[in-house]
């Protein structure tokens, strides 16, 4: 990486975010799945998967990373599985329940990133990581009314063990280091013990006629890391969000007007690790927002399609959760698609 002074034209080396010697990740997996229709009303399915992940990162630059010179490696394996049942009693009802286990192995970002996530706070690699493991349970219900209205809802819960999240760390026995001339506290992706996540989602589709339909969905998620006292927010949990749109299709013309919306992300729900970019929030958190949008496409013939869109029609000034950059204002897009 390099930086250039736009006044003098002088070019100088700059701090990179990742291992300057490169990083490699190899994943090998094998799985088996099985589905059995016991009757027209009952369907069961199961599956198993074994995964092995090998990861290597090389640091060479002694100017910026003298504390990380050398090669670091991680090798992890995990066995995960699932089992589910679907029940369809008739009258367009559907019920399902699914249990599963899962894991997330540390990746290139976890092992090779050196990043100032906030002023005076630097994330460094942690070579002692083990995979994050989960146990998951979800249940869903669906109902179709008169062949025109479809309602669906899902609730879920995930239990984490060795959850991967950013926390306090030491590098060569020190809790602070000098990085690019700044004394910064050391943090790293760590295995935080136990955490949990639960949520609910729902959707509705109303098919007024063959070409006119309403589609709407909403999602809510809540996650916390367990501690000996008060549980603290899990990283990267979005606020409540959803989408509602009206679609109209006739011959080669397809149009949709839709709204995207997010609820508030309050300060009490921000992770304290810096991963949620708390410094970029207002004193009350990240405000709720919505946008109105329009898009259309027209198939000129079997090969050519013209597409156009008008986004954020009301020119709302908003930021998506964890961003320090305002999203695009009112904007227009147009494209031509050709198939040969």
Helices (H), the chain: 108-112
CA angle 76, 18, 127 (to 5 degrees): 35
Per the CB < 8 A criterion, the answer to whether 234 and 270 are in contact is no
Q: How many angstroms separate the CA atoms of 317 and 4, rounded? A: 32
**Mean residue pLDDT across the chain:** 90
Number of other CB atoms surrounding residue 209 within 10 Å: 9
Higher pLDDT, 22 or 253: 253
Q: What tokens were used for 264?
A: 């508030």
Number of other CB atoms surrounding residue 290 within 10 Å: 15
Residue showing tokens 């508030």: 264
Closest C-alpha among 191, 134, 140, 133 to residue 158: 134
Closest C-alpha among 241, 228, 237 to residue 197: 237
Question: For 48-52, 112-116, 135-139, 172-176, which range has the lowest pLDDT when averaged over its residues?
Answer: 112-116
Each residue of 229-265: pLDDT tens digit? Answer: 889 999 899 999 999 999 999 989 999 999 999 999 9
How far is the CA of 68 from the CAs of 16, 177, 186, in angstroms? 13, 12, 13
Each residue of 289-319: pLDDT tens digit? Answer: 999 999 999 999 889 999 999 999 999 999 9
Per the CB < 8 A criterion, the answer to whether 95 and 87 are in contact is yes
- Percent of the residues in the chain that have a pLDDT greater than 90, as a whole number: 60
Q: Is the pLDDT of residue 189 over 90?
A: no
pLDDT of the residue at 67: 64
Torsion angle of the four alpha carbons 311, 258, 334, 338, in this order, in degrees rounded to the nearest 10 = 150
157 pLDDT tier (thresholds 50, 70, 90): very high
Handedness of CA 308, 313, 316, 322 (dihedral sign): negative
pLDDT of the residue at 73: 84
pLDDT of the residue at 180: 67
- pTM (2 d.p.): 0.80
Each residue of 40-75: pLDDT tens digit? Answer: 999 999 999 999 999 888 877 666 666 667 777 888
Output the DSSP codes for 44-100: EEEEEEEEEEEEEEEE--TTT-TTS-EEEEEEEEEEEEEEEEEEEEETTEEEEEEEE
Q: Is the pLDDT of residue 179 over 80?
A: no
pLDDT of the residue at 66: 67
Per the CB < 8 A criterion, the answer to whether 206 and 149 are in contact is yes
Sequence-ordered list of residues with C-beta below 8 angstroms from that of 300, at least 6 positions apart, any chain = 252, 306
Q: How many angstroms separate the CA atoms of 260 and 293, rounded? A: 8
Handedness of CA 122, 125, 128, 134 (dihedral sign): positive
Closest C-alpha among 151, 285, 277, 139 to residue 198: 139
pLDDT of the residue at 274: 73
């Amino acid at each position: 990486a390099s930086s250039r002074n736009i006044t003098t034209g002088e070019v100088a080396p700059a701090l990179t975010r990742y291992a300057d010697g490169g990083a490699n990740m190899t994943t090998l997996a094998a799985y088996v799945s099985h589905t059995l229709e016991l009757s027209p009303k009952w369907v069961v399915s199961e599956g198993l998967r074994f995964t092995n992940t090998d990861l290597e990162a090389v640091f060479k630059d002694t100017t910026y990373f003298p504390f990380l010179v050398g090669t670091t490696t991680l090798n992890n394996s995990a066995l995960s599985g699932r089992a589910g049942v679907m029940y369809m009693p008739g009258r367009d009802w559907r019920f399902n329940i699914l249990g599963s286990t899962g894991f997330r192995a540390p990746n290139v970002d976890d092992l090779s990133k050196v990043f100032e996530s906030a002023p005076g706070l630097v994330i460094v690699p942690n070579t002692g990581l083990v995979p994050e493991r989960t146990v998951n349970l979800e249940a869903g219900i669906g109902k179709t009314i008169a062949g025109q209205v479809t309602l669906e809802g899902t609730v879920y819960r995930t239990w984490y063990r060795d959850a991967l999240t950013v926390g306090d760390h030491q590098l060569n026995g020190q809790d602070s280091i000098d990085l690019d001339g700044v004394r910064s506290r050391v943090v790293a992706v760590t295995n935080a013990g136990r955490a949990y996540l639960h949520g609910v989602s729902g959707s509705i589709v109303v098919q007024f006629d063959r070409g006119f339909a309403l589609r709407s969905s909403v999602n809510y998620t809540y996650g916390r890391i367990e501690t000996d006292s008060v549980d603290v927010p899990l990283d990267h949990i979005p606020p409540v969000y959803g989408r509602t749109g009206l679609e109209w299709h006739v011959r080669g013309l397809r149009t949709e007007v839709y709204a995207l919306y997010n609820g508030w992300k309050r300060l009490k729900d921000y992770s304290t690790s810096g991963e949620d970019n708390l410094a970029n929030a207002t004193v009350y958190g990240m405000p709720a927002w919505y946008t109105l949008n329009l898009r259309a496409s027209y198939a000129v013939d079997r090969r050519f399609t013209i597409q156009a869109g008008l986004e954020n029609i009301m020119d709302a000034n908003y930021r998506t959760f964890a961003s320090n950059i305002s999203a695009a204002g009112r904007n227009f897009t147009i494209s031509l698609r050709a198939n040969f």
